[in-house]
Amino acid sequence: MHPRIEMFLRTIFGSHIISMGIIMLALIALTACSNASSKLPIFQATPAESPASTDIQTKAAQSDVTPAAGSIPDCTSPASLTPALTEGPYFTANLPERASLWEDGMAGTKLTLTGYVLTPDCQPIAQALLDFWQADANGQYDNRGYTLRGHQYTDENGRYELITVVPGEYPGRTEHIHFKAQAPGGPVLTSQLFFPGVQDNQEDRIFDPSLVIAITQDNGSSLQAIFNFIIQP
Q: Is 21 in the site for Fe ion (CB under 5 A)?
A: no
Choose one: 52-60, 70-78, 81-89, 144-152; the region binding Fe ion (CB under 5 A).
Answer: 81-89
Taking the complex as a whole, the smallest distance from the CB of residue 119 to Fe ion amounts, in Å, to: 27
Q: Is 168 in the site for Fe ion (CB under 5 A)?
A: no
Which of 88, 108, 186, 233 contacts Fe ion by CB under 5 A? 88
Distant-in-sequence, close-in-space partners of 121: CB < 8 Å, separation ≥ 6:
59, 63, 77, 78, 79
Whichever of 122 and 166 has its CB closer to Fe ion, that residue is: 166
Q: Please, which residues bridge with residue 117 across strands?
A: 229
Distant-in-sequence, close-in-space partners of 47: CB < 8 Å, separation ≥ 6:
none
> Which burial class, exposed, middle or buried, applies to 26 when counting CB atoms under 10 A from its CB (0-12, 13-18, 19+)?
exposed
Taking the complex as a whole, the smallest distance from the CB of residue 148 to Fe ion amounts, in Å, to: 11
Whichever of 108 and 120 has its CB closer to Fe ion, that residue is: 108
Q: Please, which residues bridge with residue 224 across strands?
A: 112, 217
Whichever of 159 and 173 has its CB closer to Fe ion, that residue is: 173
Identify residues 102-121 at the interface with Fe ion (CB under 5 A): none
Count of residues that interact with Fe ion, criterion CB under 5 A: 1
Structure-derived torsion over alpha carbons of residues 163, 230, 189, 187, reported in degrees to the nearest 10: 130
